Structure 1
Amino acid sequence: MLERTLAAIGPCDESAMAAARALQSRLTKPAGSLGALEELSVRLAGLAGACPPPLPEPAAVAIFAADHGVHAQGVTPWPQEVTAQMVANFLAGGAVVNAFARQTGASVTVVDVGVRQTPLAPQTSPGEARPHTPAGPEPGAVPAGLDAPRLITATVRPGSRDMTVEPALTRAEARRAVEVGIRVADELCDAGAGILVTGDMGIGNTTPAAALIAVFTGADPAEVTGRGTGVDDETYARKVEVVRRALARHRPDPADPLGVLAAVGGLEHAALAGFILGGAARRTPVLLDGVSAVAAALTAVALAPDAVHALVAGHRSAEPGATAGLERLGLPPIIDLGLRLGEGTGALLAFPVVAGAVRVLHEVATFDSAGVSEK
């Protein structure tokens, strides 16, 4: 599956991009007046191979959830059971990502790829997923007309191993997690998603994210390791040292992306990388969220360089590794609000901007058609 997916990922369609640039120049507005939105619309035309490209609607959020063995090193004060508890909260519709998804009309799919405790919700496998309906008229309940969040169980193993002691995953486990992400992307595209939105949940997951970003950017761990949930100075220093120790122990080679994932990655990072690859293979845009998504994007692009054409950076996370990763990928973030929550929240806030960039090509009149004089 992985090899077939990689083979399906290709370059942008230059003729579609040229057509989009030409169309932008004929619309009833001063040339360049929509700034970065114009180049975004051109990129999305190149991805789709059509001008105008399809409207990137509806949005489908996939939240990949997993636990981490490195939690034992004291990199976060949050207990590990919060991962499973938050999965239950997503399914009940009570998290921030649910609120933003309701605002944008996005669907929410939670994928258990490696949660240690059993999430408190019905479980299904990819291709057999069914909605989980919140009980009672709680504030987080899904209103009529929107699909309820659902859970897919695709557990590769119950959390990664401690990367400071041994490889976090075997190579086979890393591949299996990547292929989970590919299958989820395929399923959501088959269901009609116009854009895929990355989400993540895993207590301690900014530590392996920092390790992945350090490998693929060549940056020092201190430059790409952030405070995650807002840890104190002592915990932050420990976190940087944990990343440094893991990299020194394994010496992962960025030319071997699966090997990097196995050494220092998390199951949700691997699945997110597959999700990105699956979207790129289907020529469907993928809207990136925060630092874990950026770490996964670096991995995906290391596996398939042309996958970068499918990527849109939703926001600039407050985590320093996200900025370093986006700079390496050459992706300007759409919004910068100091967010560091994860879940897909920043990406969902950016989604209307992405949709608007494409809608301009569909709906704005040209000077000729509107009878408007040019300068």
Structure 2
Amino acid sequence: MDLLNQTVKKIGKLDDEIMEKTRKRVDNLIKPIGSLGKLEDIVVKLSGITKKPFPKVDNKAVIVFAADHGVYEEGVAAYPQEVTVIQTLNFVKGVTGVCALAKQARADVIPVDIGIKEDVKEEGIINRKIKYGTDNMAKGPAMSREEAIKSIEVGIEIAEKEIKKGRNLLATGEMGICNTTPSSAIVSVIGGYAPIEVTGKGANYPEDKLLHKASVIKRAIEINKPDPEDGIDILSKVGGLEIGGMAGVMLAGAANRVPVVVDGFISTAAALIAYKIEPKVKDYLIPSHFSAEKGAIKGSKLLGLRPMLDMDMRLGEGSGAVLAFNIVEAAVYMNNEMITFEEAGINV
């Protein structure tokens, strides 16, 4: 708990003065004001995060947390649980969806075993296993409060290690069969939504079984009674270890003034947990895409963040966040490479 408390205490506000200066310069670049849309907003936000008028995002990584879920035994997934470990091994091989997109974006993929059901001994996978998957949240808490805190602190530790290496742009990714179930539960609890409103098909779960999936989530919430205002309580009762890890990365990014790109639905659920722990973390997050998962838009609205891309994606792994790396980098290039009207000798 000490690391989490210390991290939260370090999270301050964005630098309004530098943001104002950056906005003034961006408005005077050789273009009509506002004509580059969200690119302009992104670079202004980056300047406020980093306290630098010319921020850089040339050292990028996506941290992918892998974990299993006890609620799998309720029949809420279309794929066997063994896929979690298989895909985690594939991250090392560089052959998954996020790996392909990360190569294009010149970003590193950092896989972490934070709670896979099996032992995974493979060079390239960071072993920070807290337990062999969560407990079945439909029968009791997914984990203890102490385990939930530990998952967040693992995320903080790994993010800070990467930041010390010079990372200046991070993203959150995950792997865990049926982890849309706890994500839907988190959004349901925080937003006060009926589970059926935020329960989607995840990894191709049959449409005709969605009522069952929603009923399992409803039962988990009724049994555990998570406090909507206590992010740690929500995480421990209806969350996942990988969700805690991602929340930790977001908190560490904010504490160290490093932007964190949020992936889709599951990462957004993690962002909601981080936000409940410390609301100022929201200012350090860059939402990437509108996930096609049912509860994603509601999750983003709860955060008050509007994603930049609408690609009908729902893979997870951090794939949408890594795709958005290109947009974030484009915003930085706009700021660094364009000249102002004054520099061009044009009076307007």
Normalised by the length of structure 1, the TM-score is: 0.90
Partner of 1:94: 95
Give the counterpart letter for 1:260 in structure 2.
I
Partner of 2:31: 29
Instruction: List alignment gaps of at least 5 residues for structure 2.
Output: none
Q: Greater CA deviation, 174-183 or 349-358? A: 349-358
Specify the SS of the correspondent of 2:343. Answer: helix
Deviation at 1:39, TM superposition (A): 1.5
Partner of 1:132: none
Partner of 1:40: 42
Distance 1:229 1:25 in 2: 43
Aligned pairs for 1:56-67 within 5 A = 56-67=57-68
Deviation at 1:234, TM superposition (A): 3.2
Specify the SS of the correspondent of 2:229. Answer: coil
Give the counterpart letter for 2:50 in structure 1.
A
Give the counterpart letter for 1:40 in structure 2.
I
- One of 336, 352, 358 as aligned partner of 2:326: 352
Deviation at 1:236, TM superposition (A): 1.5
Aligned pairs for 1:1-375 within 5 A = 1-52=3-54, 54-119=55-120, 121-122=122-123, 150-374=124-348
Would you identify which runs of 4 or more consecutive aligned residues in structure 1 move more than 3 Å?
none
Distance 2:312 2:213 in 1: 21
Deviation at 1:372, TM superposition (A): 2.9
Give the counterpart letter for 1:70 in structure 2.
V
Deviation at 1:117, TM superposition (A): 1.2
Distance 1:220 1:42 in 2: 37
Distance 2:68 2:237 in 1: 15
CA deviation profile, 1:180-224 (whole Å, cap 9, x unmatched): 000011011111111111110000100000001111222221111
Distance 2:5 2:213 in 1: 35
Specify the SS of the correspondent of 2:122. Answer: coil
Contact 1:85 1:119 in 2 (8 A): no
Give aligned-pair identity as a percent: 41
CA deviation profile, 1:107-136 (whole Å, cap 9, x unmatched): 1110100001123513xxxxxxxxxxxxxx
Normalised by the length of structure 2, the TM-score is: 0.97
Specify the SS of the correspondent of 1:57. Answer: coil
Q: How many residues of Structure 1 are paired with residues of Structure 2 in the alignment?
A: 346
Contact 1:84 1:120 in 2 (8 A): no
Deviation at 1:19, TM superposition (A): 0.7
CA deviation profile, 1:256-307 (whole Å, cap 9, x unmatched): 1111111000000011111110111111000011111000000001101110
Contact 1:213 1:321 in 2 (8 A): yes
Distance 1:285 1:103 in 2: 20
Give the counterpart letter for 1:221 in structure 2.
P
Contact 2:244 2:270 in 1 (8 A): yes
Instruction: List alignment gaps of at least 5 residues for structure 1.
Output: 123-149
Distance 2:326 2:99 in 1: 16
Specify the SS of the correspondent of 1:356. Answer: helix
Distance 2:296 2:256 in 1: 25
